[in-house]
Structure formats: structure tokens, C-alpha cells
Amino acid sequence: MKYTPAAGLPELRTQIAAFYRKALTAVTVPMERISSTPAHPGALLLAFGLVWNPRREVLMADPCYPCNSKFYPLFAGERCGRVDAQTRYQLSAD
């Protein structure tokens, strides 16, 4: 057994590129610009690292998916907004 390529399986990335070509006719995304991950935590960590502005703060629902709360402190501080059944587990503007 060996590891898959870090960017994901080439066959999958090719199919994703084909989907974008077909679904969004004005958009061409080369397979080389597509990455896939086996689950959302890896994708979230990569995306967060790419767009994070260290002068900004993250507002995160609490409780949340356990690994999400571990990612934010890697980049900067966070504020947690308590959510529960009364808030339908959604953050509010308050």
C-alpha cells in the first residue's frame, strides 16, 4: 500500500475539472489547480491558512465540530458564541 498524491487522485481531479467545464461553461479550471482531501478537516485547515488575516478575529459557534476549535488557535485568537437548541445551533448577530 502506498499513499495517494498529496493533491488527491489525478483521476478525481480530472473529473472535477470536467464537471466545472460542463456545469460552468465560462469557467475552465485546469486539473493542476484542483486539490482534494479525504475529509473536511484537512480542507478547512488548508483554506483557513491561505486566507487568514492575523489581524482579524474568528467568531465560532460553541459547541462545534471538535477539530475546528483546534485549528483557529493555530492562526490567532477566537471568540466563541454559545449556541444551543434555543438558537437552533446558529450564531446570531448579537
Q: Which residues contact 14 (CB under 8 A, 6 or more apart)?
A: 31
Q: Within 10 Å of residue 42's Cβ, how many Cβ atoms?
A: 13
Q: What pLDDT was estimated at residue 9?
A: 93
Q: What pLDDT was estimated at residue 76?
A: 66
Domain ranges of the chain: 53-94
What are the pLDDT tens digits along the chain (94 aa)? 688 888 899 999 999 999 999 998 778 899 999 988 877 777 888 787 787 777 777 777 888 778 777 777 777 666 678 888 998 888 887 7
How many DSSP H helices and E strands does the chain contain? 3, 2
